[in-house]
Amino acid sequence: MRPLSAIVALVLLAALPARAGEGDKPAPPREIFLAHTQAQKSSANPTAAMAAEFKRQVERLTEGRVKVGIFPAGQLGGNREIARVIADNVVQTGFVTIGGVVPAYPPLAVTQIPFVFSSQEAAQAAFDGPFGRLLGEEIERRTGMMVLGYGDSGGMTALTNARRPIHRPEDMRGLKFRVIPGFKSQETMIRSLGAVPVPISSREELPALSAGVADGQMNTPLAILAGRFDEVQKYVTLTEHLYAPPLWLFNRKAFDALAPDEQQAVRQAADAALAAGRKLAAEIEGSERGISALYRRMTVTRLSAEERDAFRRVVQPVIIAEVQADLDEEGRALMGEFLKAAAPAGK
């Protein structure tokens, strides 16, 4: 974990040129700092595309009165650190994984109940609709961070491992699986399948898999390829058990300090950036860099409806019971809204 003092120093150093105006010189532009953990190559991943488009649109819409500085590739730390520095207004905004936000807002764990969505389209509709708005309101109320929207992490979650194909829950038995440190529902899911959870940070994940500290991990197809996990993992099972979009957080006090037209520019820019990220994700998924790349580089198992249901029957009741036990009344109400949003139409 990077010390907060080091993060503050890095941000202040980046801000020096923008704050150099003195005397009769024109006032320097406001600067919004945005942090994320991905490489800043806008054609390579949806997160980078969102950051680049947000910067372009904010600076265009405000005619340069507001600048956007980007700290990519985990320069300010992992997802938890980024959530912390946004909450502290060290940086104003950023894209943070669900696992990175859960420590600040534990009820968010309700969104990680496995096998509730029938498709990625259904999952996106839930987060884009009333449930997503309610979730954003609750996060802001409890943390002081607004949710500008939900990004696209590159599909629904799959399982990879270096040992054997996974067709049934029993195939997981004895495997060591990487989980996000402190993410209780992930640990419970892995244990319920007879595997061993191994907490490993995202920064240490690839070397840990390469060294055999863990046999497997779970991620979206795009994240598997972008993270080069296909180089150290032989098998992938398209379980599609979770949808975990990154949350676009913005410090509420920093937002309120903007002029009304600047606030409008931020919201418009965020909408454009979210659309750009989702568009790129769809393009990559349908190209040679998407699912087809997994088939070329790994042994792919696509579960039948019956096989997927076998996994659901094992893990879902356990996770629901655990998450529910850890929630207060408001959290249980949020879980009810999530399950309602995830239910197929007509049910």
Q: Do the domains 4-101+121-152+245-285 and 158-243+288-342 sit in the same CATH topology, yes or no?
A: yes
pTM for the complete prediction?
0.90
Neighbours of 332 (CB within 10 A): 15
Q: What ranges do the domains of the chain cover?
A: 4-101+121-152+245-285, 158-243+288-342
Q: Please list the residues that pair with 197 across neighbouring strands.
A: 177
Q: Which residue has the tokens 């980007």?
A: 70
What does the pLDDT profile of the chain (347 residues) look like in tens digits? 666 555 655 565 565 455 544 455 555 679 999 999 999 987 778 999 999 999 999 999 999 999 999 999 999 998 999 999 999 999 999 999 998 999 999 999 999 999 999 999 999 999 999 999 999 999 999 999 999 999 998 899 999 999 999 999 999 999 999 999 888 999 999 999 999 999 998 889 999 999 999 999 999 999 999 889 999 999 999 999 999 999 999 999 999 999 999 999 999 999 999 999 999 999 998 888 889 999 999 999 999 999 999 999 999 999 999 999 999 999 999 999 999 999 986 45
DSSP 344: P
Hey, what CATH topology would domain 158-243+288-342 get?
D-Maltodextrin-Binding Protein; domain 2 (3.40.190)
Top-level class of domain 4-101+121-152+245-285: alpha beta
Give whole-number Cα distances, 278 to 49, 142, 174, in Å.
Answer: 9, 28, 37
Burial class (CB in 10 A: 0-12, 13-18, 19+), 129: exposed
